[in-house]
Structure 1
Amino acid sequence: MRKIIVCDDVELERQLLKDILHEYFEEIHEEICVEEYSSGEVLIADAEEGYLEGELLFLDIYMDQLNGMETARKLRALSCNIPIIFLTASPDFAVESYEVQASGYLLKSFSEEKIKKLLNRILKTDMQRRVAIKSKRQYRYPYTDDIVYVESDKHTITLHLSDQSEIVAQDKLIEIEKRIDEKRFLHCHQSYLVNMDYIKDVKEDFELQDGTIIPIRVRGRKEVLDKYNEYFASHFE
């Protein structure tokens, strides 16, 4: 059973995080126990008594009396090496978080996707989704994380992957979009489906991290840009 610790002085915030954690571990078919703390003082008291056990600690920075950063410093002074993910409404302590070897830094209100990615990395679980693509006479199963964009030309679609390889198949773009079924994939043009995680800038069109330009349709351009702005605000700000 996985044991996760959540320390936040706001009960509603603790409950929100607990719901996401339970959903995550249910998806990977693992049992979870979430230990809750409403203050850094009680957390430190249990650590001093040797009662603090867990694989991961979600620690709010802005708490009354002993804040999260001070709590983390005390934990490290007690030789408690539990991985810490800071929760905060401000990036003010981002640099200081490295002093206590923080494993993550989440700005509220955090997204489920960001939390799940952190859990994948820290707990070494594999929640990466894959999609089946029939290429010629065999099936390929790329991770959706690795799909940068999908390009359509008549009845041929090309998946461009992050390692610069390609998968070519006879299919329809709208069918690929349905199979991937992830909000981060934006149908920005009749011939393009782009993974918004790889967008670096928006000018006349989308510019990707490798410099590739992905066109934005003229008709419905505002809708496309609104969807990207909404995604950007919830994931990267």
Structure 2
Amino acid sequence: MLKVIICDDNEVFLKYISKKIHEIAMNNNLNVNIKTYLSGKSMLFDLEDHIHSVDILFIDVLMDDMTGIDVSKKMREYGSNAQIIFITSVKSHVFEALDVMPPHYLIKSEIDDRVIESILMKAVTLSNKYKKSMFLYKVGHSKKTIKCEDIVFFEINNRVVTMHCSDKTEEVFYSTMDNLENGLDKSEFIRIHRSYIVNITKVASINSKNVICRDGTILPVGRKYTGKLKNQYSKFILENI
């Protein structure tokens, strides 16, 4: 499910672009949740506690209460990595946003179905790529992200997860094993034991009883996970020779 937010203070245009994105999503078999706002301030207030859930944002550059560029900067300050598409009447305004992100933009006078679809599908591709490269987790009331490539393995004991990182730091948070597995890219992370999930790219070698990580850590392998582990590790080795 992709969460798409549209923010524009012109209600007629807001309904138009929302309808078009819904149609394009249907035609491309995309599962999207679209939410619209007429104000940047109201959008930020509503999304404050779950800003990380936004995958794609379409936002008008010039709005009365708060500009789209200012809203986008706030989102970045809050830790959002959403793909942002600026909607504008004047192309030059977009380049004020270069410190927010490499700009995607729609010129209102030039918008048609083909242009909207091209921009949307590019944003979808980049959003999916980003999702696969990052792990989102919650510590207390704070949501955090970390690059998957910086994670060595997870250890879980009674819903307490310890994430072991490449720089030797650890992060502790709460999760079930099922939720943890579902939040990870299964081509990169594999469960090797009832209490361990390892990043396959951090594995130096395996045997029937242990995984030896590149940092020297030795992890136990449960008997029921041995076959799948060997198959996935062999596939990883072949693809990276």
TM-score (norm 1): 0.49
TM-score (norm 2): 0.48
